[in-house]
Structure 1
Amino acid sequence: MTEHLLEMAGALVRVSDGKIEVLSEPKVKWCPLRSGLYGIEAESRETVESVLRVHMKELGMYSPHRVLELSERPVSFGASEMISDGMKEGLVDAAVVVCEGAGTVVATRTEVVAALGAHMTGLVRTEPIEEIQAGLRERGCILLDDRCTIDQVEGYRRALAAGYERIVVTITGRRAFEAEEIRKMASTSAGEGPVIFAVHNLDVAEDQAEVLAETCDVVWACASRTVREVVGRQAKLQIGISIPVYALTDSGKRLVLNRALHFDESLVMHRATLPYGPEEKLPDPLL
């Protein structure tokens, strides 16, 4: 029996051997991204369960049948999409990401990064799924251990030890301390520093948002008013309005703009004071 704990739309969810239990009400009542992707106009325990069930059916998430390679790019400016496109252009050698059933993973193939990040939400805790771990290792991935340890600092250390230089590390806002530790480690290492992506930033405290602004290269606003106010004001570039993505460094801008280069639909770019976005297009509520 394996058990996994995650957050989706601010709801705490447990998955045990394929059974979904939504343990709390979603904190976000309406999300423009989830509305566009899944047609949800009012979040509830039922919508959280139904979306997760679709992910489990289509991608085999939280099961031995996990899809580990994917060519689709479901989110316009998602983290895995940016990393995958960066790998294609030689801007990224390796990505330190997280996968259920495996924990922290160092991945180097675009299709693997796309599969792991396609519909991954806030993974809090996970337990081993042997088939996922074996499949990732067969695809050249590095796992921290067999116990599903989630530790992005150690993941970055393993990526460096493996000889990778252009490394992207994803962290969550509530583990902003990892970004600080990674920056300290990078300051004593030779070669290029890492590009740090902060994803899943719901319920980020002001002090955590300040750390993100100081240490990260790209930060997703999610449904956080604090991230918009603290990080958005220091950003060099914002892509998107309803769920803004903020680039704070030139390295971050390069990966955001590279994703725009690979994006097939029309875009508009203009000068603006950041953060930018009309209230009616924002998630409800902002937390």
Structure 2
Amino acid sequence: MVEHLAEMAKALVRIRDGKPEVLTSPLIRFCPLRRDLYGIDEESRETVEEVIRSHIEDLGMYSSQRVLELAEDPVSFGASEILMDGMAEGLVDAAVLVCDGAGTVVITRPDVLQAIGAHMTGLIKTEPIAEIQDGLEQKGCILIDRHATIDQIRGFVTAIDAGFERVAVTLAGSMSSDARDLRAIGARSGRRPFILAVHTTGISSDEAAALAETCDIIWSCASRAVREVVGERAVLQIGVSIPVFAMTQEGKRLVLNRALHFKGALVIHRSSLPHLHANRQPRPLI
């Protein structure tokens, strides 16, 4: 019996042998991104279960049938999309992501990176699935172990030990202490990581401030603290509903590279930050 725990719309979900069970009701009632991706106008246990089921059926997530290569880019400025384009452009050599069935993984191919990250949401715990692990290794990925351990610091160390120079690491917003540790390891090794904070809904103002000091790019999700604390310190914002904030020149370069590769039309203008569209925010902000 293989079991995974994840958060979606701040609902806790257990996936056991490919069957999702929503353990708690979603705290987020409305998300503009999930409306655009999945057609959801109001979140419920049923909508969360439906989306997880679609991920299992369409992408084989949480199962031995997992899709490990993907070219589509469903989110305009998602973390995997930004890193995929950064890797294709040579700005990033390797990315440290979390994958169901494999845990922390070092990825070096843009299409594999996109397959892992495009629809990943708040993975808290996962258990080994041999087919996923073997498939990732066959595609040049490095696993930190075969136990599906989630440890992004070990992932970064693994990547620099393997000789990669420009390594990106995604972290959940609650892992601000790990961001500080990554900065310290990067300083000692001479390999500055790109740190991307995702899944920030519900973090505290102190955690948001710590992320602002250490991260290159931060996603606001449905976080009030990120909008209020991080937004005013950012050097670049993309999006007005669920803003993505670049905090450093390195983060700014990655975001603008995604803009260069983005196929749709964009408007870029000078503004004080954060710049928010009041009627298009997730509800509630927590």
- Taking structure 2 as the reference length, the TM-score comes to 0.99
Aligned amino acid, residue 124 of structure 1: I
SS at match of 2:92: coil
SS at match of 2:120: coil
Aligned amino acid, residue 216 of structure 1: C
SS at match of 2:195: strand
Say yes or no: does 1:195 pair with 2:169: no
Say yes or no: does 1:86 pair with 2:95: no
Say yes or no: does 1:25 pair with 2:25: yes
SS at match of 1:231: helix
Other-structure match for 1:256: 255
Other-structure match for 1:275: 274
Deviation of 1:146 after TM superposition, in Å, equals 0.8
Moved over 2 A (4+): none
Aligned amino acid, residue 182 of structure 1: L
Structure 2: which 5+ runs fail to align?
none
Deviation of 1:45 after TM superposition, in Å, equals 0.2
Deviation of 1:278 after TM superposition, in Å, equals 2.3
Other-structure match for 1:245: 244
* Rounded Cα–Cα distance in structure 2 between residues aligned with 1:204 and 1:233: 17
SS at match of 1:188: helix
Deviation of 1:189 after TM superposition, in Å, equals 1.1
Structural mapping, 1:1-287, within 5 Å: 1-190=1-190, 192-287=191-286
Deviation of 1:2 after TM superposition, in Å, equals 0.3
SS at match of 2:26: coil
Spell out, residue by residue over 1:157-206, the C-alpha distance to the aligned partner (whole angstroms, 9 max, x if none): 0000000001100000111111010001111112x411100001011111
Deviation of 1:19 after TM superposition, in Å, equals 1.1
* Rounded Cα–Cα distance in structure 2 between residues aligned with 1:116 and 1:13: 18
* Rounded Cα–Cα distance in structure 1 between residues aligned with 2:224 and 2:133: 37
* Rounded Cα–Cα distance in structure 1 between residues aligned with 2:250 and 2:284: 31
Aligned amino acid, residue 203 of structure 1: G
SS at match of 2:169: strand
Aligned amino acid, residue 141 of structure 1: C
Aligned amino acid, residue 172 of structure 1: A
SS at match of 2:265: coil
Spell out, residue by residue over 1:13-68, the C-alpha distance to the aligned partner (whole angstroms, 9 max, x if none): 00000111000010100000000111100000000000111111110000000000
How many residues of Structure 1 are paired with residues of Structure 2 in the alignment? 286
* Rounded Cα–Cα distance in structure 2 between residues aligned with 1:229 and 1:136: 39
Structure 1: which 5+ runs fail to align?
none
* Rounded Cα–Cα distance in structure 2 between residues aligned with 1:89 and 1:278: 31
* Rounded Cα–Cα distance in structure 2 between residues aligned with 1:237 and 1:132: 36
* Rounded Cα–Cα distance in structure 1 between residues aligned with 2:146 and 2:14: 21
- Taking structure 1 as the reference length, the TM-score comes to 0.99
Aligned amino acid, residue 223 of structure 2: S
SS at match of 2:189: coil
Aligned amino acid, residue 71 of structure 2: S
- Percent identity, aligned pairs only, is 60
Spell out, residue by residue over 1:108-149, the C-alpha distance to the aligned partner (whole angstroms, 9 max, x if none): 000000000010000000000000000001111111111111
* Rounded Cα–Cα distance in structure 2 between residues aligned with 1:237 and 1:12: 32
Aligned amino acid, residue 180 of structure 1: R
